[in-house]
Chains A and B, each alone.
Chain A
Amino acid sequence: MQLRVRALETILTEKGYVDPKALDFIIDAYETKIGPHIGAHIVAKAWTDPDFKHRLVADATAAVGSLGFAGRATHLIAVENTPRLHNMVVCTLCSCYPWEVLGLPPVWYKSAPYRSRAVIDPRCVLADFGVTLPADTEIRVWDSTAETRYLVVPMRPAGTEGWSEEKLAGLVTRDSMVGTGLARAPGAAP
C-alpha cells in the first residue's frame, strides 16, 4: 500500500492538485491537535457549568465554537445520558463521526461488527465493551445518516463533587462520548 499511495500522491502533486505541505498540516493536526481530549474538555465543562451545558444541548456547534478549538464542528448535536437513558452513536452506512471534537474514529467504530450490530443489539455491543446497564434503562441509538454529528455527554461519576474541570476531563473517555463506555470512576485505572 505504501508504494501505491506514494505513487498516487506523486501524480496528484506533479499535476498540481495537491500540495504535500497541506497534507502534512492535516496529518499533524489529527495526530497532535484534534482528538478526544477536546470532547473531554467539553463534557467536563458541561458537568461543571450548567449554563454551558444548557447551551451545549441547545446548540452544540455554537457552544463548542465559543471555546475556540481548531475546526468548526458544524451540525454538532450533544445528547445527554441520564440514569434512565443511555445514548450510543453509530454510522451504519459509512463512518460519520464528530471529528472536530473526538478526532479520527477508532478502527472498531468503522468496522462491520460495530456498524451491523449497534442498531439491532446495542446491549450486546455494550457487553463487548464490558458495559452492563440496568434492563430498564432506555438505550437510544443514533444512526448518523446525514451531516449531523453526535457527541454523547456521559453521566458524571459519583464521588467527584468539587473536582476541577481539568481533573474531571481525565475521567471522560473517548468511548464514553460515543456511548460504548461510561465515564471512568474516580480511582479507576485509565
Chain B
Amino acid sequence: MNGVHDLGGMHGFGKVESEPDEPVFHAPWESRVLAMNRAMGYLGLWTIDTGRYSRETLPPHVYLGSSYYKRWELGLTNLCVQFGLIGQDELAAGHALHPAKPVQHMLTAADAPKSLSRSSFERPAIAPAKFKPGDRVRTRNINPPSHTRLPRYARGHSGVVECIRGCHVFPDAVAAGKGEDPHWLYTVVFAGRELWGEAADPSVKVSIEAWEPYLEAV
C-alpha cells in the first residue's frame, strides 16, 4: 500500500538525531511490547508480514505520531482483536472476560531461547530463476492497496541484478492470506541518478531486495 510507512526519499523529517549512550529500552513497557510481539508471533497465527501490515494500516497521523513501540503495541492489539484472541470489552476491562481460543505453540519459558533465532524464509524453488546476476531489469510500476515490499521510490526503474538470494516467502501474498507463494528473491542495484534524477549524487547506488514478480526484463 502507498502508506506513510513507505518513507524512502521523502523530505521534511529533519536531521537524524542519535542519542548518546542510548538505553536498550526507554521504559519498561517498551520491553513488554517487544517480548509480547515475539511471543504472540510464536503462536504461528500470523507472520512477520501480517505484523508489518497491521502497523502500515494504522491511520497515517497515528503511524507518524507514535513511537516505534507504541506502533508495535497498536499493531499487536489490532491483530489480537482481528484474529479473535481478545475482545474490545476485555481491553476496556483490563482482564479476560471470555474463554481463550485454543492455540498451539505457546512460547513457554523453556522454549524462549528458541525465539531468539530467526526462522528461515527460504523455500524450495518451484521454477528456475528467471534472472541471473548481471541482468538488466526494470521494477514494475505496481500500486497495490495491500502489503508490498517494493518501495515507491524504486518502482518503474531500471537496475541490475547483483545477486540471487534464494526462493523466499512472498510478503505480498502471505499478508493477504494467500499462502506463502514463494518466489525468487534478488538484490537489484540502481544508480542514484536513475532513482532521483540527474541532480543526484553520482557516487550513490541503492539496492533493494526484489521478488521476481516485482521485476521485468529490459
Contacts and interface: CB of A to CB of B under 8 A. Distances in A.
B39 A18 contact: yes
18 contacts: A1-B29, A4-B73, A15-B86, A17-B39, A17-B43, A18-B107, A29-B113, A71-B117, A93-B151, A100-B118, A104-B34, A107-B68, A108-B16, A117-B16, A120-B195, A122-B204, A123-B204, A175-B18
B176 interface: no
A129 interface: yes
A11 B94 contact: yes
A135 to B, nearest CB: 7
Given A10-B95, A71-B117, A138-B203, A145 B151 contact: yes
A12 interface: yes
Interface in A123-168: 123, 125, 128-129, 135-148
Interface string B17-57: 11100101111110111111011100100001000100100
A186 interface: no
A71 B80 CA distance: 26
B15 A128 contact: yes
A2 B28 contact: yes
A185 interface: no
Nearest to A174: B22
B7 A9 contact: no
Given A30-B24, A31-B24, A147 B153 contact: no
Contact of B36 (A15, A23, A90, A129): A23
Contacts of A95: 68
Nearest to B17: A108
Given A92-B8, A113-B13, A74 B196 contact: no
Q: Which residue, of A27, A30, A35, A94, has the highest number of chain B Cβ atoms within 10 A?
A: A94
Interface of B: 5-11, 13-19, 22, 24-29, 31-36, 38-40, 43, 48, 52, 55, 64, 67-68, 70, 73, 76-77, 80, 85-86, 90-91, 94-96, 100-101, 103, 106-109, 111-113, 115-122, 149-151, 153-154, 165, 168-169, 171, 185, 187, 189, 195-196, 200-201, 203-211
A175 B40 CA distance: 30
Contacts of A16: 100, 103, 106
A125 to B, nearest CB: 6
Contact of B108 (A19, A104, A110, A129): A19
A71 to B, nearest CB: 4
A8 interface: yes
B19 A135 contact: no
Contact of A22 (B15, B28, B39): B39
Nearest to A133: B203
A71 B118 contact: yes
Contact of A143 (B24, B48, B119, B207): B207
Contacts of B150: 145
A147 B48 CA distance: 9
Given A26-B116, A139-B203, A116 B11 contact: yes
